[in-house]
Structure 1
Amino acid sequence: MISLRLADKTITTEKNAFVMGIVNATPDSFWEGSRGGTQMALEQIEQGADIIDLGAESTRPGSHYVSEDEQIKRLIPVLSEIRRHSDIPVSIDTRKYSVMKACLDEGADILNDVSALEDDEKLAGLCAESKIPVILMHKRSTPDVMQNNTEYQDIFKEVDLYLRQRVEHALKQGISSDKIIVDPGIGFGKNMTDNCTLIRRCGQLCDSKYPVLMALSRKTVIGQLCNREIQDRMIGTVAADLIAVMNGATLVRVHDVKEAVDSLNVLKGIGV
């Protein structure tokens, strides 16, 4: 059994990893199958999601940031409706204090910050005060230009060092060590070879002191490995997620919840 402490409760799963279902309240996320709202979230809950990850700002390569007001406009109606039906933990994919504050007031539970608390200096204090878990992700630059520079001397060493620095920042801002999750940022300013290295070694990040989230679902690296377009990358994603979990990941962020749950149940049943 693995567990994760939220602000006011602890969630657990008998699987080898938590399944986080992706719901993008955006018109431009990289796969149109992830675009949706309350109904998509409720379907994912029915399929066995442990957490819903709700976002209103696409971070696909080439995308541009969305204003805080627009994010709130997109997120709050969906989150409010989810809360009418379920108490499932909801993660908010945002980099901004005002967006997270509005979502906390509507019952959100987790911050998923692709900027690892760099883009808004007030956000860390809000998370510390609220006692919520924080996902810190590695990326280079901004999504519109991040794939222009994918060269590293040592990908694991550089990503690991960055995450250690952001963890240290979070701790200094008062975020408890048991509320920190790290994410190597697959596809964010990285090439296929480096993405594969991070998948293999994900459990070693930060000396294995913190839970690791892997967000691989239908990404370019899966397409490169399978020679498949986005709509045909589900099986490749399931395989990559299982490899990541077998190498130490404890959360997987996915579009295809039912398949992720089934594969993790098989992994557990076999006893790997």
Structure 2
Amino acid sequence: MGVLNVTPDSFSDAARYLDADRAVEHALAMEAAGADLIDVGGESSRPMGASEVPIEVELARVAPVLARLGKRLGVPISIDTRRAEVARVALESGAAIINDITALEHDCEMAPLAARTRCAVVLMHMRGGLANHIEFARYRDVVREVLEYLRARARFAAAAGVARSRIIVDPGLGFAKTAQHNLKLLAALPDLCALGYPVLVGASRKSFVAAIAGAGERELEFGTAAANALAVAAGASIVRVHDAGAAVAVVRMAAAMAGRARPLGCDA
């Protein structure tokens, strides 16, 4: 899953693709590099200092990009949003997946929308809000608590009418998690996969990777590659990445070594 942040303040590529033309070019380049999905987002959720933006602003950022991509992109589009109205516009523009960092909790209209449109949904674990989720990184047993939450949210989605085959879960690395929490969750991916849903892992360029591997561009690239390789080998179906070209080779090799012909595991 290639990341396309159409925002001025994302932690990795702030303002780089705020211009719609550049955003579209980047999405097409990620597709050409081998990305299987493109995830478009118009609201930053970086760990420190992220703030809510008005829905009008979020729509103004993503709508022009989605309108153009829907006609040119050959791979599925995912919309990274907490808001049902943004998701609705994206789905009408051709998106096939709702990637909701609040696991359908923020907007009560999101679950009915997903059920009605029969799109796929990504349910992510997080605590707190955009601006303060790191303050909630306190657990007695992070693996057990994340598993219980995702199991409950998947059951909620299914009860709302979302087909089980279209539910994807995400442990939310970096969201209300310390570096040690992230490492424990990565080590426990087989347990997460045992829930029976495709698992998405988003380790790309996150602060825990920088803290362990180094914050330079090269160190972030190799640190991210290591996390992605281990995630795929452990059973993850999707890795969310900023550098699709580098990730493709990593995913192919890790999947082959783990005896998995192709890691993607949802029918979006």
Paired position in structure 2 for 1:8: none
Mean Cα deviation higher: 249-258 or 147-156: 147-156
4+ long deviations beyond 6 Å: none
Paired position in structure 2 for 1:25: 6
TM-score by length of structure 2 reads 0.90
Distance in 2 (CA, whole Å) between partners of 1:208 and 1:146 is 25
Distance in 2 (CA, whole Å) between partners of 1:215 and 1:96 is 20
Indicate whether 1:58 and 2:39 are aligned.
Answer: no
Paired position in structure 2 for 1:264: 251
Match of 2:28 among 32, 39, 42: 42
TM-score by length of structure 1 reads 0.89
Distance in 2 (CA, whole Å) between partners of 1:185 and 1:249 is 13
8 A contact 2:82–2:102 mirrored in 1? yes
Match of 2:240 among 243, 248, 253: 253
One-letter code of the match for 1:29?
Answer: S
Distance in 1 (CA, whole Å) between partners of 2:121 and 2:16 is 23
Paired position in structure 1 for 2:208: 221
Match of 1:144 among 131, 134, 139: 131
Segments of structure 1 that go 5 or more residues without pairing to the other structure are: 1-19
- Equivalent pairs: percent with the same residue? 38
- When you count strand as a share of all residues, which structure comes out higher? 1
- Aligned residue pairs: how many? 253
Indicate whether 1:68 and 2:55 are aligned.
Answer: yes
One-letter code of the match for 2:6?
Answer: A
**Residues 128-185 of structure 1, C-alpha deviations (whole Å, 9 max, x = no match):** 0100110000001012111123221000000011111111110110111001000000
Which of 1 and 2 has higher RCO (CA within 8 Å, sep 6+)? 1
Segments of structure 2 that go 5 or more residues without pairing to the other structure are: 18-22, 260-268
Distance in 1 (CA, whole Å) between partners of 2:108 and 2:193 is 23
Q: How does 1:95-244 map to 2 (within 5 A)?
A: 95-205=82-192, 207-229=194-216, 232-244=219-231
Closer/same/farther in 2, CA of residues 101 and 162 from structure 1, 3 Å limit: same
Closer/same/farther in 2, CA of residues 129 and 57 from structure 1, 3 Å limit: same
